[in-house]
Amino acid sequence: MFASTVVTLGCAFIVLMAAGIAVVTALTREANRLEAQRQAERIEAAFNGQIRLSELKLEGLMTTSDLTEALLQPQQQPALQAALTRVRSQILDFDGVHIVSMSGHVVAGIENTVPNAPGEPEGQQHLEAFLRGAKRPAVSVVIGDEAQLQTGPTRTMMLNDGGETLLLTVIDLPRVMPIDLSNPRDPLSLIAYRHITASLLFELAERYRVADIRLVSSAPADSSSVLALRAPDGTVGGWLTWSPARPGDAMLHRFLWALILVALLFSGIFVFVVQRLRASAEQIELRERQIQRLAGQDELSLLPNRRSFDLTLDQSLADLAQFGSALAVMLIDLDRFKAVNDTYGHNAGDELIRQVASRLSGALQPGDTVARLGGDEFGIIRTHLATQAGCAALGERILACLTEPFTVMDVEVTIGCSIGIAMAPRDATNRETLLKLADTALYEAKNGGRNRYSFFEPQMNRSLQLKRMVEDDLRRAIENDELTLHYQPQVSIDGSTIVGLEALVRWPHPEHGMIPPSDFIAIAEERGLIVPLSEWVLRRACTEAKRWEGVRLAVNVSPIQFRHKDFVANVIRIIEETDFDPTRLELELTEGVLIEDADAAEAAMMDIRAHGVGLALDDFGTGYSSLIYLRRFAFDKIKIDRSFLEYMEATGESAILVHSMAHLGRALGLRVCAEGVETAEQHRFLQAIGCHELQGFLFSRAVPAAQIDRLLLLENPFAEVLSAA
């Protein structure tokens, strides 16, 4: 029993050991085979890639150098020799370059970067072999297992001549030159060659980490570490061989002792670990492929992403500096995309992005690049017809194709787009600046009404600089109390008494001088500074107006400020902090503050009037619903807009409108104030129709508080002005 148990256990041990050894041996051989295969693929790809790069380089020289002009010269031979000499620094990869006719006449040549006169024997000992290869209409690829024919104007082959192995590149000049070469019976060819030397193979081995690459004349026994070199007739003229890496053997030698010691106890663990490692390697490889793909591609639209777009733009700008061409960058922002997302969901938004990407790709021409930069923003690099007219035509095509309806989730939706265009080198020559200028043009297109394109113009930059200056400096000016107020008098109808003062903010900038409100109020509203600015104006005006007893203080209210949830509380707080009489304060509102939410506006107005503050409807007559507002909202005064007085004649239409507005105001029990009074005729007319108050340059411009002090000391401050008028 004991013996049988021992035999059984021994047999089991032997079976497990044999299985373990078999598995390890198989893995070792497979690893060696895969590594040998990868080495062969790397060497083949490197060799053929280098050959193709050399071919493209030679073809490029044919079309970009002055060889074309040399071929047209009456003295063709010296001209071609001089042209080859000038480009010799660009063909140092070759041991020699010759321009020959198919009859064997050498027109020009360079050997080892030293030019030789036609007919000299040195460096031309292989010429006969060269010509035999050059006259073949089709030759095989240089390296690989299968001989594939090459029929293009450029061919590369291997030659054995005089015991030397050479790579020969032949270019049929009539097929690549952009000119008509005469004498078709004896066409010219460019022949470039290089020796396959030990140093070249050593450099290849070092670069791709392959040991001992050699050129042999007979096929080695190990077929896993050999690549055939093809002669012009397609036969094998030599072999590249090397010492293959054997990672499987190295792994076996390293872990063999551990396998022998723990084979019985840990054989199962070993198999499990091997399987887990193999699965992990596959997962890592899969993730690496996904990362490489995602690194340059937008996953949703399958277009290049921002990183790929930036790299392409950098390369295009580098080519621009080298070749002196032009390009344009177009930034596209979809209009009403958010509405589609909010209404139909994110799946609909994703589908819309995919359809937009497809239409944009279809609108471009070969050579142009379109990418998704993020969200609903796309970018285009235009290198084909990168002129203003060409870009304008492309912009029209894009607008046309993106305004066509899209079918998304079985629903037809319509969007548009805004396009900003910047051109290089006209506008900028580096990526950051060019994108910034294109974004500036895009901002201009949006502000101009959307669904349009705009080219960058220098004045756009000045507008942006002004906005940045306002945003940065105005915030600091408010915090440091660097603003000032001017006041324009509102006088009684007879012009003898100042009954009110309208506070108007001014900005004495330390560098740009006095900046008028028209240059910074709108920007302050856009940049979120209007609320602190308005509170500063109200506080300063209440503080300064306390000394002008019996005179009302009028302060303008921005629609954004009025819609602020703490507007009423902030006004009352400032009045209490400054100890100002609220019955002397009059807030001037425009119809813009009432349109968005009339119920909320009515509640705020009732609240503010309950504290004794008066309300005036400014710019009366310029809106759409002034009569409705007068009936619904509790105003104390209306101010007739200055536009009605600017071209008013006593019997004209504007005069009739002004008369009607004044009559309406009196009928509703409101005070009527006319703005923009500049002439005595206007004064007399307004006095005759029954206005209560006047305001305008006839009496005074907006002036500092100190000048208001002097005017209030006078008994009839405008008597002299009115008498002169």
- Predicted pLDDT at 129: 66
pLDDT tens, position by position, 589-598: 887 777 667 7
- Predicted pLDDT at 139: 47
Asked whether the beta carbons of 428 and 390 are under 8 A apart, the reply is no
Identify which has the larger pLDDT, 257 or 607.
607
Is the per-residue pLDDT at 487 higher than 50?
yes
Share of the chain above pLDDT 90, in %: 19
- Predicted pLDDT at 615: 92
- Predicted pLDDT at 271: 65
Average pLDDT on 612-641 reads: 80
Is the per-residue pLDDT at 689 higher than 70?
yes
Rg of the chain on CA atoms, in Å = 43
- Predicted pLDDT at 519: 74
Say if residue 498 is exposed, middle or buried (CB neighbours under 10 Å; 0-12, 13-18, 19+): buried
Q: In what order do the strands lie in the sheet with 226-230?
A: 211-216, 236-243, 226-230
Mean pLDDT of the chain: 80
Average pLDDT on 547-552 reads: 92
* Closest to 381 (Cα-Cα) out of 453, 297, 300, 306: 306
Burial call 499-525: b when 16+ CB within 10 Å, e when fewer: bbbbbbbebebeeeeebebeebbebbb
Say which range, 333-342, 647-656, 715-724, has the weakest mean pLDDT.
647-656
Average pLDDT on 24-40 reads: 75
- CB count in 10 Å sphere of residue 221: 8
Average pLDDT on 706-717 reads: 90
Q: What is the DSSP letter of 75?
A: S
pLDDT tens, position by position, 554-574: 999 988 888 888 889 999 999
Identify which has the larger pLDDT, 296 or 13.
296
- Predicted pLDDT at 123: 45
Average pLDDT on 271-284 reads: 74
Report CA-CA distances (Å) from 620 to 115, 225, 688. 90, 93, 20
- Predicted pLDDT at 19: 72
Is the per-residue pLDDT at 489 higher than 60?
yes
- CB count in 10 Å sphere of residue 683: 24
pLDDT tens, position by position, 383-401: 877 888 889 899 999 999 9
| Structure tokens, 623 | 């809106």
Is the per-residue pLDDT at 42 higher than 80?
no
Is the per-residue pLDDT at 646 higher than 80?
no
Average pLDDT on 683-688 reads: 90
Say if residue 724 is exposed, middle or buried (CB neighbours under 10 Å; 0-12, 13-18, 19+): exposed
- Predicted pLDDT at 576: 93
Specify the 3-state DSSP secondary structure of 151: coil
State how far the Cα of 242 lies from the Cα of 220, in Å rounded to an integer: 10
Q: In sequence order, which residues have a C-beta less than 8 Å from that of residue 372 and are 6 or more positions away? A: 298, 300, 301, 303, 304, 305, 306, 353, 357, 378, 379
Identify which has the larger pLDDT, 584 or 180.
584
pLDDT-derived band of residue 535, with 50, 70 and 90 as boundaries? very high
* Closest to 571 (Cα-Cα) out of 616, 521, 537, 525: 537
Average pLDDT on 398-412 reads: 89
pTM assigned to the model: 0.47
Identify which has the larger pLDDT, 468 or 524.
524
pLDDT-derived band of residue 12, with 50, 70 and 90 as boundaries? low
| Structure tokens, 153 | 């104007």
Is the per-residue pLDDT at 6 higher than 50?
no
In 306-387, where does DSSP find H-type helix? 306-323, 337-344, 346-363
Asked whether the beta carbons of 657 and 621 are under 8 A apart, the reply is yes
Long-range contacts of 601-604 (CB under 8 A, 24+ apart): 601/562, 601/633, 602/632, 602/633, 604/562, 604/567, 604/568
- Predicted pLDDT at 125: 60
Place of tokens 């400054």: 578
- Predicted pLDDT at 145: 57
pLDDT-derived band of residue 149, with 50, 70 and 90 as boundaries? low
Is the per-residue pLDDT at 624 higher than 60?
no
Say which range, 19-28, 129-138, 306-315, 376-385, has the weakest mean pLDDT.
129-138
Identify which has the larger pLDDT, 105 or 122.
105
Instruction: Tell me which amino acid residue 118 is.
Output: P
pLDDT tens, position by position, 184-232: 567 788 888 888 777 777 777 777 677 777 777 777 777 777 777 776 6
